[in-house]
Amino acid sequence: MEAQQTRAQQTEAHQTEAQQTQALARVPQAPAVGGEARSEPKTRGRSIVITSGKGGVGKTTTTANVGIALAARGARVVLVDADVGLRNLDLVLGLESRVRFHLLDVIEGTAPLDDALVRDKRVPTLWLLAAAQNREKDDVDTEAMCALIERLRERFDYVIVDSPAGIETGFKNAVAGADEAIVVCTPEVAAVRDVDRVVGLLGNRISVQLVVNRIRPALVRKGKMLSVEDVNSILRLPLLGVLGDAPDVIVATNRGEPVALDETAPIAAGYRAIAARIAGEDVAAPTADEPAGFFEKLGSLFGGRH
Partner 1 sequence: MLEQVTEWFRNVFGAQSSSAVAKDRLRLVLLSDHLALAPDVIDALRRDLLDVISRYLEVDEAHSDVSFEHKEAGIAMLANIPILAMRPPEKIAESPADAQASAKSAGVDDDTGVLEAVHPNGRTDNYGRRPRRRRRRKSSGASQTAPAQ
- Where on the chain is the footprint of partner 1 (CB under 8 A)? 1, 4-5, 8, 188-189, 192-193, 196-197, 200, 220, 222-227, 230, 233-234, 236
Q: Residues for the chain: how many in total?
A: 306
In 105-244, DSSP assigns E strands to: 117-119, 126-129, 158-162, 180-185, 207-215, 239-244
Min dist CB 133 to partner 1, Å, is 34
Shortest reach from residue 111's CB to partner 1, in Å: 41
- Name which of 53 and 164 has its Cβ closer to partner 1: 53
Measured distance CA(292)–CA(194) in Å, rounded? 25
In the complex, what is the shortest distance from the CB of residue 92 to partner 1, in angstroms, rounded to a whole number?
Answer: 29
Report the residue number, 202 or 267, with the smaller CB distance to partner 1: 202
Residue 4 or 97: the one with the smaller Cβ distance to partner 1 is 4
Smallest gap from residue 290 Cβ to partner 1 (A): 18
Least distance (Å) between residue 30 CB and partner 1: 34
Residue 168's CB: how many other CB atoms inside 10 A? 11
Q: Whose Cβ is closer to partner 1: residue 54's or residue 87's?
A: 54
Q: Are 175 and 202 in contact (CB under 8 A)?
A: yes
Least CB distance to partner 1 at residue 296 (A): 17
Q: Where are the beta strands (DSSP E) in the chain?
A: 46-51, 77-81, 117-119, 126-129, 158-162, 180-185, 207-215, 239-244
Toward partner 1, which CB reaches closer, 230 or 248?
230
Separation of alpha carbons 209 and 239, rounded Å: 6
Q: Is 78 helix (H, G, I), strand (E, B) or coil?
A: strand
* CA–CA dist 255, 249 (Å, integer): 10
Q: Which residues pair with 182 in a beta bridge?
A: 50, 209
Return the number of the residue (225 or 268) whose C-beta is nearest partner 1.
225
> Shortest Cβ distance from residue 115 to partner 1 (Å)?
43
Indicate the residue among 124 and 200 with the shorter CB distance to partner 1: 200
CA distances from 257 to 61, 93, 235, 251 (A): 11, 6, 32, 9
CB atoms within 10 A of CB 101: 19
